[in-house]
Structure 1
Amino acid sequence: LKVRPGKPTFAAVVGGRLVVGLPGFPLSQMMIFNVLVRPILAKLLGYGEPRATVRATLAEKVLGYLGATRLVPVVLKGDSGSYVAYPLSYKSGSTSVLQIADGFVMVKDSVSFLGEGAEVEVYRLHTKKLADLVAIGSHDYLLSEVFRELSRSFTVKYVPVGSLAGLEAVAKGVADVGGVHVLDVESGEYNVPVLRRLGYGGRVALIVGYVREVGLIVAKGNPKGITSIRDLLREDVVFVNRTRYSGTRVLVDAYLEKLARELGTNFEELTSRIRGYYMEARTHSGVALSILSGRADVGVALRYVAVKYGLDFIPLAYERFDVAVNLKSLEKAEVKALIEYLRSDRFRELVERYPGYRLIERSGELVL
């Protein structure tokens, strides 16, 4: 079939019997099943239209594939009166997106793109109630644990996309909250200056969070003898970077900009000398696994990750991790519960169990 993902899909009649072949990856399989197999089964069994769909507004531009229908998984936010669909980026074999997605959008083969704000039909992957709290932002282990604790009382949808993409989602109201840790290079401060520079001040507030120790992580015993960012320029060293728009990528590039000035060169020339600069991992765990598998020698990640995966750690900095919140969501009971939790003794006890994390004096304070 001319569909992506799901190109291996086929349908045929063999010996008078219908035979359907589905793609092997779980997300592709589920979407194709809903598009092709479920309607056929419903018709054969005499049922009505089996596909649950809702109309929604697209939160971001989505590209199509000329000559092939594209299926795009989305997260839904809203109620029966108004829905917003947030498109998810993913790799073909991803299973985590299948757990996150509420449905998918079909981009016809004759359409090159659907613009932000376009009205689309979303095919639901499940009939469960939508999440009470939608969090889109930076990936963080402690925040994930906080959401697991809160999910005992209400449902939470946590979509890790990076700090800058998360800030945009929160500002648009697509997300209620999102983790953020973006260094403002000029001031040396985190988050607040970036929020104002992007013009989100009237739409987004910050809940002061905590600090995390970040550094270079390498294999146990540090076989390449790596000691600093400068070692990324060595020909025998392979680096694994983080994705664009992530807070860690902003920090990495700030260090490389500084190194370029010290060496009397420019950023582009410097990064062209780093083996693996364009090899990206979506999460801190992805960086660790790249090193454990031998694909890379070094990456930038949290001390917590180094401890978790038995890797060596070379400290670089402490970064402040806050929670951005849409001003309209401040009145939601779920957001109030999050703020209350971040101010609780229970949270303080939780932080102590995470190596490389620590609270600061203003933790839990709301900054408008």
Structure 2
Amino acid sequence: EQLKNAIRQALVEHDIVVVNAGASAGRQDYTASLLAELGEVIVHGVAIRPGHPVVLGIVEGKPVVGIPGYPVSAMLTLELFVKPLVHSLSGIAAPQRTMIEAVMTRKVFSLMGQDEFLRVKVGKVGSRLVATPLQRGAGITMSLVRADGLVRIPRGWEGLREGQKVPVELLTSLEEIENAIVAIGSHDLALDILANYLHKQYPRRSLSSSNVGSLGGLLALKRGEAHLAGSHLLDEESGEYNVPYVKRLLSDQEMVIINLVYRQQGLIVAKGNPKGISGLADLVRQEVSFVNRQRGAGTRVLLDFKLRELGINPAGIRGYERVEFTHLAVAAAIASGTADAGLGIMAAAKALNLDFIPLLKERYDLVVPRLYYESPFLEPLLDILQQPSLRAEVESLGGYDTSHMGQVVAKL
């Protein structure tokens, strides 16, 4: 009744009414039924994703739009339905965003029957514009914050191929994209701080990072889709980080490996460690649920290596197949109570006030093609790596050793 009265009052004072949330078909979703009672529902549900449950109605001769409550869905439906209404009723032409053509850096699967609007990071590497898909899902707000553009996957397609050229509707300026250093690879919180330093000291420059795992980052370098890649891949035979992988995968290119940090990897658990977890052996206990990282992530490689050392079959770990794409996402799953443990870095546990069981110290490097390492384009970033204030801020996160930050590990 309160919502009905609020809609009536809004119609008296405004030309368009937008009702946020309550657009789906659940027991607590009232928007569609109220609009049917007050006026006429023209459409309830459209063939788009995210944003499918949107409600379009007319009440007292005025448009009323019920948008989904999830933030990504809300943004998209506002863009597609409310924004054109505002411009139409104002008698002005809707501004058009810049459209570009870019190359997809990864294969994307999509459900047929709905147009999907995919958020992407866009960068210019060499002479090519490349688009890297961000995490999907109607509730992943950071995908909106980090997105440079939108790619529409038509409803009759099953997805996009790696290397496919696609039209991208830009959410930022082409100048910003051309001035962005493209980093594709493993996730680390130090990269976020590095990006802030770069943009603060060089306002026209930015570090555009996409989290696809260490192995994915090296493969992106091989395809010429990034200026650098974050990596922490442990070679089981030699015990060396990154260098053996770079030699195997990028032998046809001259590469420079630069240390960013050494960091503590371990098990992230709930505050107070209520399940009494002390090490990887506890993951096979039936009452313990685990959250993993995606295939190709350095943390996943490390976990599998350690499980083999201990003779633990991953099939016996409840939640081994459940994956997240960042350390913070793993920590968030544990903070929310949907998992009891996950392998990650100390800084992620500290950020969400969780407990941490240290297991080992690992090296996290930046892998850079020599072509870019020696170019003026990367000079600002490489200079910032030498600044003591950056090192101090990274170490304040917890679990980091920056004593070798900026040092060249190898030239291959």
Residues in 2 aligned to 1:10 and 1:312: alpha-carbon distance in whole angstroms: 44
Does the CA-based 8 Å contact 2:266-2:346 persist in structure 1?
Answer: yes
**Normalised by the size of structure 1, how large is the TM-score?**
0.86
Q: Which amino acid in the other structure matches residue 333 of structure 2?
A: S
Match of 1:123 among 166, 169, 172: 169
Q: Which one is further off, 274-283 or 28-37?
A: 28-37
Percent of residue pairs identical: 38
Shift in Å at residue 251 of structure 1? Answer: 0.7
**Counterpart-to-counterpart distance in 2, 1:205 and 1:28:** 42
1:367 partnered with 2:406: no
SS in 2 for 1:67: coil
Asked if the contact 1:339/1:364 (under 8 Å) is kept, the reply is: no
Judged with a 3 Å threshold, the aligned counterparts in structure 2 of structure 1 residues 14 and 351 are, in CA distance, closer, same or farther, namely closer
Aligned to 1:69: 115
CA distance in 1, matches of 2:281, 2:223: 39
Q: Structure 1 residues 223 and 116 mapped into 2: Cα distance closer, same or farther (>3 Å)?
A: closer
Partner of 1:22: 67
Contact conserved, 2:197 with 2:384, CA < 8 A, in 1?
Answer: no
Is the 2:50–2:137 Cα contact (8 Å) retained in structure 1? no
Q: Given that residues 132 and 334 in structure 1 are in contact (C-alpha distance below 8 angstroms), is that contact kept between their aligned partners in structure 2?
A: no
Gaps of 5+ in 1: 264-269
Residue 78 of structure 1, aligned match among 107, 117, 124: 124
Instruction: Trace 1:232-271 onto structure 2 (pairs within 5 A).
Output: 232-260=283-311, 270-271=313-314
Match for residue 267 of structure 1? Answer: none
SS at match of 2:292: strand
Q: Does 1:273 align with 2:319?
A: no
Q: Could you list the per-position Cα deviations for residues 313-361 of structure 1 after superposition, in whole angstroms to 9, with x for gaps in the alignment?
A: 3321111100122444334434222222223444444454343221455
Task: Give the Cα separation in 1 of the matches to 2:252 and 2:386.
Answer: 23
Which stretch has the larger CA shift, 354-363 or 239-248? 354-363
| 206-215 vs 323-332, greater mean Cα deviation | 323-332
- Superposed, 1:147-226 pairs within 5 Å as 147-152=195-200, 153=202, 154-199=205-250, 202=253, 204-226=255-277
Distance 1:301 1:203 in 2: 31
Amino acid at match of 2:119: P
Give the Cα–Cα distance (whole angstroms) in 2 for the partners of residues 180 and 362 of structure 1: 14
Match of 1:135 among 160, 169, 183: 183
Q: 8 Å contact 2:268–2:342 — kept in the other structure?
A: yes
SS in 1 for 2:331: helix
- Partner Cα distance (2:379, 2:60) in 1: 61
Query: What amino acid is the match of 1:147?
Result: A
| Native 8 Å contact 2:350 2:397 kept in 1 | no
Number of the residue aligned with 2:383: 340
**Range that drifts further, 270-279 or 356-365:** 356-365
Q: How far has the Cα of 1:180 moved from its partner?
A: 1.2
Mapping 1:289-328, distance limit 5 Å: 289-328=332-371
Structure 2 counterpart of 1:192, one-letter code: V
Q: Greater relative contact order: 1 or 2 (C-alpha under 8 angstroms, separation 6 or more)? A: 1
Structure 1 pair 38–171 and aligned structure 2 pair: CA distance change class (3 A)? farther
Larger Rg: 2
Are 1:171 and 1:204, in contact at CA under 8 Å, matched by a contact in 2?
no
TM-score (norm 2): 0.78
Q: Residue 314 of structure 1 aligns to a residue in which SS?
A: strand
Number of matched residues? 360
What's the CA shift for 1:190? 0.9
- What residue in structure 2 maps to residue 101 of structure 1? 147
Contact 1:75 1:100 in 2 (8 A): yes
Alpha-carbon deviation of 1:233? 1.2
**For 1:29 and 1:162, how far apart are their aligned partners in 2?**
29
Deviation at 1:96, TM superposition (A): 0.6
The one-character-per-residue Cα deviations of 1:38-83 (angstroms, maximum 9, x if unpaired) are: 445545524266343222222222333322212111122129x752
Quick check: 1:31–1:125 contact (8 Å CA) kept in 2? no
Q: Offset at 1:275?
A: 1.6
- Judging changes above 3 Å, is the alpha-carbon distance between structure 1 residues 114 and 239 closer, same or farther for their aligned structure 2 residues? closer
**2:372 matched to which residue of 1?**
329
Letter in structure 2 aligned against 1:330:
Y
Q: Which amino acid aligns with 1:78?
A: K
Q: How has the CA–CA distance of structure 1 residues 313 and 116 changed in structure 2, closer, same or farther, with 3 Å as cutoff?
A: closer
Deviation at 1:2, TM superposition (A): 0.9
**Alignment partner, residue 356 of structure 1:** 399
Q: Distance in 2 between matches of 1:4 and 1:56?
A: 21
CA distance in 1, matches of 2:256, 2:334: 37
Cα displacement (A) at 1:93: 0.2
Q: Distance in 2 between matches of 1:158 and 1:278?
A: 25
Q: Counterpart in 2 of 1:266?
A: none
Q: Distance in 2 between matches of 1:25 and 1:49?
A: 26
